Every structure is written in C-alpha cells, then in structure tokens.
Chains A and B, each alone.
Chain A
Amino acid sequence: MFDWTSFVHSLPLLGQALLVTLKASLAGNLFGFLIAIPVTALRLSSRPLARTLGASYIFVFRGVPLLVQLLVIYYLLPTTGLPNLSPMTAAVLALSLCSGAYIAEILRGGFLAIPPGQIEAARLLGIGAATTLVRIELPQAVRLTLPSLVNELVLLIKASALISVVGLADLSRVAQNLAASDYLFFQHYLVLALAYCLINLPLTFSGRLLERHLARSQYRAAE
C-alpha cells in the first residue's frame, strides 16, 4: 500500500520545499503585518477620504482570490512597465498584500477595544499621533488579537500552497511533481497533507492556549 522507497527518495526534495513554503509564508506574514498597520490607521481615521482608502484596500485584497492575485502580480504588473520580480519576491508580495488586508481587519478590532481615554491622555501629554500609534495602541492591539493573528498565520501557510503558479518549488508543487513521476497520487498527497498539519497544528494549539490565557487575564482584570 505505502511505497517506502518512493517516500525515502522524496524526503530531500520535500525538505527543500518545506523551507520554501516556510520562508514565503513567514515573510508574507511579517510584511503583511507591516502593511496592516497603516491600513488599519487609514480605516480608523476621522477623515472620510482616508477611511475610503483603507476600506478599498481591504475590499480589493480580500475580495480577489489569492490565485488570481498571484497571477496578476507575476504576469500582469511587468507588462505595465513595473520591474520584473523573482518568483520568491512575487510570492511574498502577493502573500503580504493579501494577508495585510486580513490582519488589518483583525487589528481594527484590537484598536477599537482600547479605551479612548488613553489616546486623549497621550494627546494631552503632547505625544504625537504616530508615536501614540506605535508605542501605545499597537502593542495593546496586538496583545488583544494575538490568537486571531496566530490563526491568520495558519491560514496564510495554507494559502501559500498556491505560490507554485509563479514558479516556486514549494511543498505542494514538489508533491505534484513526485506524484507525476511515479503515479502514487494518494500517497504523495497524503504525505503533503500531513506535512502541512505538522506545521499548522502546533500553531493552532498555541493560538488556543494564548486565547485561554488572554481570557483569564482579562477576567482577572475585570475583577
């Protein structure tokens, strides 16, 4: 049933592919977070134009399938005169733009949960808007939304299964190539699923632990 020779042959390739998947999704998550901060700020701004800008960003990057976003970034943008991207840059860019929109929605909830008194106090103390954002609001918003952020990372790692359409030999592509070489489709795809679970399940569980921890500390604070 299970062909061990084929499995052992596939390990070095799968190992390299695992690194590609991790690199792209972790970088995508990091840059996505950096994109999400200004997008959230725009979204929560008091100026209608800024709010529209933030909302449009989220609308577009949450509304178009990642598969289509990848194709647009890798195949369409260069024909408009923008520079060519390496497959890894294109993949990280697509993943960060997309996760930026999702993370912005998560962070928005966190920002709204911060008592407005704090921001007024900061303003009275003469602390600038940007400093207030980065030093006072962001740390609290992240703390409050950490479980959702971990969950978003899991979603992004799963979404990264599509990056082979821009030419990266990630886990999914290598498993496809392996299946093409010996027609053991079920075996290679099962191993592939387990590989993703091996990365994702520890993340999911730590996310849940964080959630419980957070709920308990909030309960204590309320008392």
Chain B
Amino acid sequence: MNNYKPSSMLKIFATVLAFAIGSQAAHADVLSDAKASGELKIATEFHFAPFAYLVDGQYAGLNLELMDEVGKRLGFEVSWIDLPWASVLPGLEAGNYDFVAGPAMVTRERQSRYAFTLPIADATVGLIKRENDDSIEKPEDVAGKRVGVQRGSAQADEFRAFNQTLPEPATITEYVDFTQSMADLAARRVDAVANSLPNIAYTATQRPMFAVVEPTFGKPAYFAYMARNDAESASLVEAINQTLGQMHEDGSLAALQTKWFGAPMDVPTGDFVPEL
C-alpha cells in the first residue's frame, strides 16, 4: 500500500491540536485578574428558581442581582456559565471558572475542600408534594413512597440520611436538576421532591398544584457561594465576604431576599460551623 512518513503526519496532527487548544496564562490572583480584565467568570445552573432561572425569556434570579451588585462594588462584571449541577464542582476544581454562585449548601465535607463565602440564604431541606395528595401530611409520611432528589447535591445526602430513619425507606430517584424532579412530581412518577426550603417554597407559590410539606426535616443549613480553596482565590473570597457584610448592614441583602423569597432570612453574618 502507500508509504507515508508517519512523522510528518504526526506533525500536522500536533499543529492542529495546538491550534485547537490555544493557551491561557496561569492565574496569579483571581480578584486582581477579575478587576484588571473587568470580568469574573461564574458558574451557576439556570434551573434553580428563584436563584437562577428564566422568566419570560430573560435570565433572572437572586444570584444574578446579588452578584451584579457585588461586582459593581468590587469593580468587575459577571459573565455567567450555565451548567448541569453535577458538572459545576468538577469545573471549579479544573479551573474552568473561578467562582460558583450555585448556590451550594455549606457542609463540613465541602468546607474542607472549597472556600465558602458568607451564607446568602437558608438552605434547610424539606419536601414538596402534589397539593391534592392527602397521604403526605408530614415528612415521615413519605416512608415507602417515591422521592426525587438532585444528583450530586448535599440536599440529596440529607434526604438519604433522613430516609434511613424511616420504618420503610422511600425509593429515591436522582435527577439532573430540580426542574426535572418537579416535572416528574407533576407527572406522578415521584410522590415528593426533597430540596432546600427557598426553592420548594418559591415553586409552591408559583405553581399552586404543589405544596410544601411542613415542617422541614433537615438540620438548619445555609446556602453560600464558593471558590477554590487556594491562595489565588483567598483575596476574592475575602473581598466578596466584606461586600456581603456591607450588604447585610445597609439592608440591600435583606431587600433582595424579600424580593426573591418573600421575606428576609436570618443567616449567619460571620464564621459558623455547619451542622452537616
């Protein structure tokens, strides 16, 4: 057959690859980089009302308004990257972006791996059901039923722990995002969905076909944003924490919470030890 020189072919291949990959400078300091370029790349998931979602064809939510305000005070603009939740943390570790405004539930395990900002909302886990389903009046009633959770979320772990205490454990289905689990709740493929109170409470007010199961079953927990736990990100987390502290004091955080959750939330304004 034909006789090509593989070495020359490999050279072409390597050139194409190098061209496709391009190169990027290593990070010096995330905050000063963001200020210098005027842009901070932040990952979120636009399936998490009322934090980040679509309203009439426009992206909206607490994450966007809060981080826009933080960016304004610190001197950068936010560019959002929309990812399925299970991909968000691997991408942060890989350095594809420097900040996650998911928001994520603060847990001790995550704290040992990531740098969290101050909490921005309550994240205690509860259940949501179909409004007309009388068989579920309290969290324990989901024993033996089907419950949807979000894959890779701390809320899912929290429900798994609760599920072990039930006389007959519920069957758990894992969803890529909160909306898909709600779609299946409506379609009767699951009987309840476990997620954080702000999400389920908001969904229940927007869609009367759902109702929150009172009370929440999880331990008190909080939502916060996060960065990598390294020296390059330390100044960014510190600056954002200072700004969040200011927003606590001038009432702008409470105003945002009222706008998106219906009432201000009592969240820690300093270091705290999560119960999870």
Binding site for B on A (CB under 8 A): 9-13, 31, 34-35, 37-39, 41-42, 44-47, 49-50, 53, 71, 74-79, 82-85, 87, 89-90, 92-93, 96, 111, 119, 129-130, 132-133, 137, 164-167, 169, 173, 176-181, 183, 185
Contact = CB atoms under 8 A, between A and B. Distances in A.
B144 to A, nearest CB: 28
B165 interface: no
Contact of A45 (B6, B13, B24, B53): B6
Contacts of A185: 183
A34 B16 contact: yes
Contacts of B12: 34, 37-38
Given A9-B57, A10-B57, A89-B20, A78 B84 contact: no
B258 interface: no
Contact of B13 (A38, A79, A166): A38
Q: Is the interface of A mostly helix, strand, loop or mixed?
A: helix
A77 B54 CA distance: 32
Contacts of B3: 45-47, 129
B94 A183 contact: no
Contacts of B55: 181
Interface in B156-203: 177, 179, 182-183, 186
B95 to A, nearest CB: 5
A42 B12 CA distance: 12
B21 A85 contact: yes
A179 B186 CA distance: 14
7 contacts: A45-B4, A75-B87, A82-B21, A89-B20, A129-B3, A165-B87, A183-B207
Contact of B96 (A31, A34, A84): A84
Given A71-B87, A75-B91, A178-B54, A47 B6 contact: yes
